[in-house]
Amino acid sequence: MPLDLSRRSLFTGAAGLTVSGLAAAGLSSCSQAATGTTEAAFPPGAIDPYLLGPAEGVALLSRNENPYGPSQSALDMIEYAATKGAYYANQEAAVMLMEMIAERNGVSPEQVVLTTGSGEVLSAIAVLYGPRGPIVAPRLFWDTTALYAANLGMAEIQRVPLTDAMEIDLAGIEAAVTPDTGLVQLCNPNNPTGLVSDPATFQAAVRRMAATTTVLVDEAYIELSDDPEANSCVPLINEGHDVIVTRTFSKIYGMAGIRLGYAIASAETAAAIRPVVMSWSPCTSYAAGIGCYEDQAFIDFSKAKVTEARDMVFATLDTLGLEHLPSQTNFVYFKSGLEANAVQAAMAERLISVRGQYMDYNEWTRVSMGKIEDVQRFCHALPEVIGA
Amino acid sequence: MPLDLSRRSLFTGAAGLTVSGLAAAGLSSCSQAATGTTEAAFPPGAIDPYLLGPAEGVALLSRNENPYGPSQSALDMIEYAATKGAYYANQEAAVMLMEMIAERNGVSPEQVVLTTGSGEVLSAIAVLYGPRGPIVAPRLFWDTTALYAANLGMAEIQRVPLTDAMEIDLAGIEAAVTPDTGLVQLCNPNNPTGLVSDPATFQAAVRRMAATTTVLVDEAYIELSDDPEANSCVPLINEGHDVIVTRTFSKIYGMAGIRLGYAIASAETAAAIRPVVMSWSPCTSYAAGIGCYEDQAFIDFSKAKVTEARDMVFATLDTLGLEHLPSQTNFVYFKSGLEANAVQAAMAERLISVRGQYMDYNEWTRVSMGKIEDVQRFCHALPEVIGA
């Protein structure tokens, strides 16, 4: 049966008003919406990119995702899985992907928990550990999943201020940990700062804290960092420390719409997390992961595009004399000197979507890398927006 | 990039032993595994169909799924969504599908909650209502999601015996409902019996009970019943009764591997359920639902195949003089006179997968409809298996 073109036309924007209406009604059935900030409020009649994805004419630089994905290797496998066995709920692809992830990370498949996006496994971890005591975390981190549990009355978040350099205050967090702590949650590289902690210092602190409580390290952006292997805490798991690492196919792999993520932990911890996970992922998503997990050419290409875009943004910020953090991710956090929400609104008028204010960091803006031409639009608009 | 054929070969069975090993280790990251019974234990070296799906040579008649799906209309949309916008997490397709479901069911989009399989929304409902009081349900129903919450210590299930005719004892359930009841959960048609309750009696009982507590009706198989419109409880929602209905794309639509389901409830109830949902579904799954939701030709074709298979099974059971229930679904529950687990094992030796014992119904076997040739194998094997 050929595609109904009227449906195609809806996909490309004709349904905008209706969708905007539903967006206004808060209709997302997704619990993963970022809560630390909101996306741009576009002018009336424009399309809300949060619900519609990258609409024609909108530079979507608010999502930390990779517009060059999914890779052809992932797309091929989605098609294969859909036509081969999507009529039965099956996990053949899940098991194979668990084996691939295990092999690459030097763990056993029993230590891998695959979920519908890493948000799901992070939420499950928050539900599992939240009732044991406070979740200790930096003031700024990707808090959506901790808030998921908090909103259900199952967790409390204890935030520790960042250092003056906007880094995670590892000493401060360590000082906050007690035997009553439910979980320490760190994001490395951190979001929205884009900063990677010094590996030796970070891992030493994680080892010490893991003697007292469970330490969760969200490595959503690790593949984008300068030295992913050195930065990762996966080796600590096999050293026997009480550490959980989560990863995602949403960022470097460009599959945010496919929803695939995973946790690596001890076999015992993985077995405790699994019964809390609420969904079972599509075979198409597992297959996509199999297709691209080892696609180094695509990873290298994506990282090169991110680096190119990031260098453009750094150059623009330097020219304007604006303070910015040395990001090792696909987003840059910079101090515009203006209210973040005003910067967001001014960019939105130009159909450029960036993040608004996080917590009380009112003069800081997070801009994501995206298609090179979209990042160029941001760089051209910025001087005007800040009145330079 | 062309598909790696070695991966293809793994998909079609070469990884069997490894997968079986993981299966034995209980490695499913899926919380939706049926718990009322287990699937067949195949002879050593054979493939576990629960993890592998329908392997070559195995008649998989234990899953209540539709081997003729997904429809071409769904497959086309999966491909479209994967190539169009899978790099961004977006809900454009979700919103469109919510509108389609709403329109067809005479509700508003705000009343629809889409999830990664209906198991997810059923689990979310159990988490939401379980802490309020016991979940009152028939002795036999699809209890996986109530058990999900029970296993987390968030729900208690209060089972009411079936009638002598194996029907849901509506009067008994109504008698068990008190203001302290957290939820009444009914499956209509019921699983594993395949029975549909008389619509007038059922709906009258639901209306009365909903004056005291929330009534959840799992309509996973409703499209397979003789008169879906008359049997559905969706109209009760718009009458203002405290009723939630869930549906799935896993059964008549043949998309169990795509994981898509939904709940319909009041806008207020839907808004309460959404924050409990843990995952965000892939755009490919939403798109698949859009592709096939109104594909009446595929629905009619699938229903005809199910009816053809069911008539074959009924005829075989009648010839053998075996009691069976008048199923209006794609599975048949029959009394073999032998231990259900022995029947399952004997069928497994012939590479035919049927369900084992449910609860204490030790002489009853559930067989699902599947490909016509697979159902024929079951019909041919049954006389030998029961020693007729």
A258 pLDDT more than 50 = yes
Q: What pLDDT is stored for residue A40 in this prediction? A: 54
CA distance B369 to chain A (A): 13
Residues of chain A with Cβ-Cβ distance to B117 below 8 Å are: 89, 279-280
Instruction: Using DSSP, state whether A159 is helix, strand or coil.
Output: strand
State how far Cα B245 lies from the chain centre.
13
As given in the structure block, the two tokens for residue B363 are 């002489």
Q: How many CA within 13 A on the CB side of residue A39?
A: 25
CATH topology of domain B42-70+297-386: Aspartate Aminotransferase, domain 1 (3.90.1150)
Grade residue B50 by pLDDT with cuts at 50, 70 and 90: very low
Helices (H) and strands (E) in chain A, counts: 16, 11
Q: What pLDDT is stored for residue B38 in this prediction? A: 57
Q: What are the pLDDT digits (tens) for A342-356? A: 999 999 999 999 999
Grade residue B176 by pLDDT with cuts at 50, 70 and 90: very high
Q: What pLDDT is stored for residue A240 in this prediction? A: 97
A359 pLDDT more than 70 = yes
From A53-62, A240-249, A257-266, B184-193, the region with the lowest mean pLDDT: A53-62
Residues of chain A with Cβ-Cβ distance to B277 below 8 Å are: 29-31, 278
Q: What pLDDT is stored for residue B85 in this prediction? A: 78
> Residue A123 and residue B278: Cα distance in Å, rounded?
7
From A95-99, B46-50, B67-71, B122-126, the region with the lowest mean pLDDT: B46-50
State how far Cα A268 lies from the chain centre.
26
B26 pLDDT more than 90 = no
Check if the beta carbon of residue A243 is closer than 8 Å to that of residue A217. yes
B43 pLDDT more than 90 = no
CB contact under 8 A, A115 and B29: yes
Top-level CATH class of B72-292?
alpha beta
Q: What is the mean pLDDT of chain A?
A: 88
Residues of chain B with Cβ-Cβ distance to A101 below 8 Å are: none
Check if the beta carbon of residue B341 is closer than 8 Å to that of residue B363. no
Q: A387: burial class by Cβ within 10 Å (0-12, 13-18, 19+)? A: exposed
B332 pLDDT more than 60 = yes
CB contact under 8 A, A54 and B85: yes
> Residue B386 and residue B321: Cα distance in Å, rounded?
11
Q: What pLDDT is stored for residue A309 in this prediction? A: 98
CA distance B95 to chain A (A): 6
Residue with tokens 């499956």: B187
Q: What pLDDT is stored for residue B33 in this prediction? A: 34
> Residue A177 and residue B349: Cα distance in Å, rounded?
56
Check if the beta carbon of residue A39 is closer than 8 Å to that of residue A58. no
Nearest to A110 among B1, B25, B115 (CB): B25
A91 pLDDT more than 90 = no
Residues of chain A with Cβ-Cβ distance to B2 below 8 Å are: 76
Instruction: Using DSSP, state whether B159 is helix, strand or coil.
Output: strand
Q: What pLDDT is stored for residue A241 in this prediction? A: 98
Interface mutation vs chain B, best among A65, A112, A280, most B CBs within 10 Å: A280
Residues of chain A with Cβ-Cβ distance to B30 below 8 Å are: 89, 91, 94, 277, 280
Check if the beta carbon of residue A355 is closer than 8 Å to that of residue A142. no
Q: What pLDDT is stored for residue B6 in this prediction? A: 35
From A55-64, A276-285, A347-356, the region with the lowest mean pLDDT: A55-64
Check if the beta carbon of residue A203 is closer than 8 Å to that of residue A168. no
CA distance A206 to chain B (A): 27
Check if the beta carbon of residue B122 is closer than 8 Å to that of residue A61. no
CB contact under 8 A, A89 and B271: no
When comparing pLDDT for B286 and A10, which is higher? B286
Instruction: Using DSSP, state whether B67 is helix, strand or coil.
Output: coil
> Residue A373 and residue A284: Cα distance in Å, rounded?
31
CA distance B198 to chain A (A): 30
Domain ranges of chain A: 42-70+297-386, 72-292
At how many degrees (to 10) do helices A16-24 and B92-105 cross?
90
A221 pLDDT more than 50 = yes
As given in the structure block, the two tokens for residue B192 are 């594993």
Interface mutation vs chain B, best among A88, A112, A264, A292, most B CBs within 10 Å: A88
Q: Tell me the mean pLDDT in the region B132-158.
A: 97
From A362-371, B3-12, B209-218, B304-313, the region with the lowest mean pLDDT: B3-12
Q: DSSP strand E in B296-358: where?
A: 331-335, 352-353
Nearest to B276 among A60, A152, A279 (CB): A152
Measured in residues, chain A has a length of 388
B123 pLDDT more than 90 = yes
Nearest to A76 among B1, B66, B93 (CB): B1
As given in the structure block, the two tokens for residue B338 are 């032998």
Q: What pLDDT is stored for residue A339 in this prediction? A: 97
Residue A136's H or E segment, with its range, is strand A135-138
From A12-26, A106-120, A145-159, B130-144, the region with the lowest mean pLDDT: A12-26
Q: Tell me the mean pLDDT in the region A70-85.
A: 91
At how many degrees (to 10) do helices B372-386 and B340-349 cross?
120
Q: B150: burial class by Cβ within 10 Å (0-12, 13-18, 19+)? A: middle
Residues of chain B with Cβ-Cβ distance to A29 below 8 Å are: 91, 94, 113-115, 274, 277, 280
Q: How many CB atoms lie within 10 A of CB B175?
A: 11
B44 pLDDT more than 90 = no
Q: What pLDDT is stored for residue B89 in this prediction? A: 75
Backbone angles phi, psi at B107, to 5 degrees: -125, 180
Grade residue B243 by pLDDT with cuts at 50, 70 and 90: very high
Residues of chain B with Cβ-Cβ distance to A25 below 8 Å are: 110
- For chain B, report the end-to-end CA distance as a whole number of angstroms: 55
Q: Tell me the mean pLDDT in the region B138-158.
A: 97
Q: What pLDDT is stored for residue A87 in this prediction? A: 87
CA distance A362 to chain B (A): 26
A224 pLDDT more than 90 = yes
B39 pLDDT more than 60 = no
CB contact under 8 A, A259 and B279: yes
The highest-confidence range among A34-48, B77-91, B120-134, by mean pLDDT, is B120-134
CA distance B18 to chain A (A): 9
Residues of chain A with Cβ-Cβ distance to B75 below 8 Å are: 82-83
Q: What pLDDT is stored for residue A58 in this prediction? A: 85
pTM, full prediction: 0.90
